[in-house]
Amino acid sequence: MKSVAVVLAVLLASQCLAVRPPPRSQRPLTWPGGLSLSQDFKPSKVDLDLCKFCIDFSQQAIQQLLNIILQVGVVGTCGELCQALADKTGSQALGVACNLLCDIEGVQEFIKLIEKADLDPIYYCELLKQCTIKDDGDAKITTLSVNPKSGPQGTFIIDVEYVSKNGTGTGEMVIDIDTVDGIPLGQGFVLEAQEAGTYGQKISLRAEPNPDCDPTQGPCESFQPGNYGVRIALCNGECGSKHPHSQIYDQGMTNFTITG
Ligand SMILES: *[C@@H]1O[C@H](CO)[C@@H](O)[C@H](O)[C@H]1NC(C)=O
Ligand SMILES: *[C@@H]1O[C@H](CO)[C@@H](O)[C@H](O)[C@H]1NC(C)=O
C-alpha cells in the first residue's frame, strides 16, 4: 500500500515538474528568446524513472535548497526543509518530490550532498544514488545533419546519431545554436546511462520568432536570414562540469540557412 502511494506521488510530482522547463543552474542555456527544442529519443524507456525524476527536481530546486540551508542554518527534518522549499517556490509538487528524495538518506545526508554537489544536478543525483555512474563509457557522433539544410523560417529538424561501444554514464546532450544576431541559444537534454548500442535523437528547432517571448526577460531571437551554426556535445555528467564522473564524449558541428 505504501509503495503504491509513493509511486503515485512520484508520478504526480513528475507531471507537475514537467510543466515548467527546467532552469539550468550553472550555465543558463535555455532562453525564453524563442528556442523551442523538443526531443524524439529512441529507444525510449517508459517505466518509472527515479534518475530522471531526481534530475528534474534538482534542476528546479537545488539552488533554492542551498539558499534555504544557508539562511536557516540548522534544519531538523526533511519535512521542515521541504516545506520551506514548497513555500519559497510556491510549488507543492516540489515539496512532495523533496520529501521523497530527502527520506531516502535522511536530512543530514541530503543537506551534505546538496552542499557537495555544488549546483550540478546530475552529480547530485549520482551522489544520492538515484542515477547510474559509469566512468568507462564512450559515445561517438556518427550522423549530424539538419533538415531542411536551407529554407524559410519554420521548423528545422536536427538529426543526431551516435554509437557507444561500452555504454554511457548518466549525462547530457547540449545543443548550442550560433545565431546571426549573436543571441546565444541552447539547451541541454539529460541522457540516462545506456548500454552499448546505436542511438538516435531528433530535435525540432522552431526557428521563427516566439510570440510568447517576453523582452523584459532577455533578448528575443528574431531568426533573421543567414547561416546558423549548430554545435552538439555528448557528455558523461554535465557538459563542462569539473565534478567527478564528468567528461565530454564527443562534439560535432553542422549548420543550416534561413532564407529571406
Ligand atoms: C566497459 O565497461 C565495463 C563495465 O560496464 C568495464 O568493466 C570495462 O572495463 C569497460 N571497458 C573499457 C574498454 O573501458
Ligand atoms: C556548413 O556545413 C557545410 C557542411 O555540411 C560546410 O561545408 C560549410 O562550410 C558550413 N558553412 C558554415 C558557414 O560553417
* Contact (CB, 8 A) for 217 and 243: no
Residue of higher predicted confidence among 201 and 135: 135
* Contact (CB, 8 A) for 125 and 97: no
Give residue 198 CA to ligand 1 midpoint distance, Å: 17
Give residue 255 CA to ligand 2 midpoint distance, Å: 6
| Average pLDDT value for residue range 138-145 | 97
Give the model's pLDDT for residue 15: 38
The verdict on the CB of residue 255 being under 6 Å from ligand 2 is yes
Give residue 47 CA to ligand 1 midpoint distance, Å: 26
| Average pLDDT value for residue range 159-180 | 95
**The ligand 1 atom nearest the CA atom of 165:** 1
The residue whose CA is least distant from atom 6 of ligand 1 is 136
Sign for the pseudo-dihedral over CA of 144, 148, 152, 154: negative
Give the model's pLDDT for residue 210: 86
Helix, coil or strand: residue 8:
helix
The verdict on the CB of residue 145 being under 6 Å from ligand 2 is no
Give residue 50 CA to ligand 2 midpoint distance, Å: 40
d(CA 201, CA 39): 7
Which pLDDT tens digit goes with each residue over 13-34?
443 333 333 333 333 334 334 4
Give the model's pLDDT for residue 75: 79
Residue of higher predicted confidence among 110 and 14: 110
Q: How far is CA 215 from the centre of its chain?
A: 24
* Contact (CB, 8 A) for 142 and 68: no
Pairing of strands 150-151, 247-258: parallel
Give the model's pLDDT for residue 215: 86
Q: Concatenated DSSP letters for 63-114?
A: HHHHHHHHHH-----HHHHHHHHHHHHT-HHHHHHHHHHHHHH-HHHHHHHH
158, containing H or E segment: strand 154-164
Give the model's pLDDT for residue 43: 43
Cα 210 to Cα 156, 171, 181, 228, 229: the distances in Å are 15, 29, 15, 17, 20
User: Which ranges in the chain belong to alpha helices (H)?
Assistant: 2-19, 50-72, 78-89, 92-105, 107-117, 121-127
The residue whose CA is least distant from atom 7 of ligand 1 is 136
| Average pLDDT value for residue range 216-223 | 88
pTM of the model: 0.81
Q: Compute the mean pLDDT over every residue in the chain, rounded to the nearest whole number.
A: 83
DSSP state of 194: B
Q: Which cell numbers hold the place of 249? A: 564524449
Give residue 206 CA to ligand 1 midpoint distance, Å: 39
Q: Which of 132, 134, 135, 136 to mutate to test the pocket of ligand 1 (most atoms within 8 A of CB)?
A: 136
Residue 166 has pLDDT above 70, yes or no: yes
Which pLDDT tens digit goes with each residue over 3-13?
333 443 444 34
Least confident piece of the model among 7-11, 16-20, 189-193, 256-260: 16-20
Highest averaged pLDDT of the listed ranges 58-62, 100-104, 110-114, 138-142 = 138-142
Q: In what order do the strands lie in the sheet with 197-207?
A: 37-42, 197-207, 154-164, 140-147
For the CA of 180, the nearest ligand: 2
Give the model's pLDDT for residue 82: 96
* Contact (CB, 8 A) for 205 and 37: yes
Q: How far apart are the first and last CA of the chain?
A: 61
**Domains, in order of start, for the chain:** 2-9+49-127 (no CATH), 31-45+134-258 (2.60.40.2550)
Cα 88 to Cα 57, 61, 211, 256: the distances in Å are 15, 10, 30, 42
Q: Which cell numbers hold the place of 43? A: 529507444
Give the model's pLDDT for residue 246: 96
For the CA of 168, the nearest ligand: 1
